[in-house]
Amino acid sequence: MTILFIFAMWPTAFLRNFAAWVIKTMIGDKVFADAVRSSRKKNLTEYWKLNTEKNEYKRVFEEKVNSDSLQMKFYVPFSTGLEKVPV
């Protein structure tokens, strides 16, 4: 995460985009390259929008996990897989 802070401090988008291109092309890490591209100062409107999207995703995720339609089987770790843990 420290390196993302360094990329965020770069003054121009050109340097961030160039670093992201190098990371994606030479190293092959698309996820980190995208993180470098988006690591910049955000204004308040962008921050609120991202926070709203995060909260909506969390709400939908929790609804799906807590719904009865999701049938999950939990097994005891390091077991034979035959002992089911009651849900």
Query: In the structure, what pLDDT confidence band is assigned to residue 34 with cuts at 50, 70 and 90?
Result: confident
Q: Around Cβ 16, how many Cβ atoms within 10 Å? A: 19
Q: How is the chain split into domains, by residue range?
A: 1-41, 42-87
Mean pLDDT of 51-77: 76
Mean pLDDT of 66-71: 65
More confident residue, 38 or 76: 38
Mean pLDDT of 8-24: 79
Mean pLDDT of 20-46: 87
How far from chain centre, in Å, is Cα 3? Answer: 17
Residue with tokens 């009651």: 86
Mean pLDDT of 51-71: 82
